[in-house]
Amino acid sequence: MSSPKKTCSLSIELLPEFGWSIRNQPVYGPGSVFQGFVNLNIDTPMSIERVRLVFYAIETIPSFEVSPGVIRSAKNMIFSTQTVLWHSNQTLQQLSQKRKHIFPFTIQMPMIQFPPSVDHTSYKCNFLLVALLDTPTLDIPVIKKEVPVLCMPFVTTSFLKIPTVLTKEKKSLSAKVQMTAQEYVLGDNISLNLHVERKNNWKKESKNSLQFVTAHLKLIQTLSIRHSDDIPDQIKCVASVSSNLLLIKSLDGSGMYCDGDLTLKIPNDISPSYDYGKLANIFYRLQITVEQKSSLGNIWKQCVSLDSVHITIGTLGYGIRSSNEIKLYSDLDTPISPLFMKAVEYEDALPLYDSSKLPSYENIPSF
């Protein structure tokens, strides 16, 4: 038996944005206004009651087994709003069969700091546009189309007034790190200067062999679940780089040293830092490790590590401030939803071209 033919289809198209984007996908923040179309293609005649567009955001903690038989999960509806794009009782516009219909829409985000769009195994925050076609009968399955919307909060960044200097020493190996910033935006490079010293109290090595230290930089993300103390923090490395630095003999012969300017690229598609979530928060730290292996092999090595260099991953560049009107969603007693806006004709718009109002160039005297 053949399957029933598809009677119609829905699609959602967001208009291109010329501002913030990640992997060619537009990003929206507090106060953003974005536009698009819902496309309805009718293949065979059918009875349609209305066409709706729903915009909602939801954050969830998937089921997590904290101990045998003990499951933890959570769900929070951040906002939900909808508009009716077309209704069957509208007399001005009737849906003719077997043709394409386009329904424009405009949405304005409120001045609210929502959590960012997150897709983590232990926490998800999704912003979704859903186009729905309602029919007056129940014998036709629900026809809908979902499209994710990428949303980010405004997280400011700034340079340090005084550079951060960190030192660590273990046995004969010491490291000194200097940083001029600990706040960066997505896609930036974390930059630092590293100075390493090694004293001459190691076991005897080959005098003619070159000696190196290896510096490892790791950006560590911590997802902290606020909803339940039973769920441990989810920690993972989101970026890393390693560099070999040649040791140089010191002038006084007491040991060896090296200097290096190191950088670590921050991925464009990770979540920014935030600490106001109802269910979860995200933090970052930079782990700096310097190690040296024996030139005779991997029998022994020395290592120093700085594990807790706090890093803020922001969304606004240096010097860009966010509005004082922005509020945190976690501070609201009642959720505030985005608004579906109607088309507005601006009073200061240029008038339409009208050739009858142009001067006659034949009557203009020549000079």
Give the pLDDT of residue 60: 93
Single-letter code of the amino acid located at 59: E
The candidate with the shortest Cα–Cα distance to 237, out of 270, 214, 208, is: 270
Q: Which is it for the CA torsion 328, 330, 334, 337, positive or negative?
A: positive
Beta bridge partners of 127: 57
Which pLDDT belongs to residue 297?
Answer: 58
Contact 263, 190 (CB under 8 A): yes
- The closest alpha carbon to 309, from 215, 219, 191, 224, belongs to 219
The pLDDT value recorded for residue 346 is 43
pLDDT for position 304? 92
**Residue 141 phi, psi (nearest 5):** -60, 155
Contact 258, 95 (CB under 8 A): no
Q: How far, CA to CA in Å, does 99 sit from each of 39, 177, 233?
A: 11, 66, 53
C-alpha span between 121 and 63 (Å, rounded): 10
pLDDT at position 349, please?
47
- Structure confidence by residue, pLDDT tens digits, 234-267: 999 999 999 999 999 888 777 889 999 999 999 9
Model pLDDT, residue 292 = 86
Question: Can you list the residues of the chain whose pLDDT is less than 70?
Answer: 1-6, 17-19, 65-71, 90-98, 138, 201-209, 294-300, 343-367
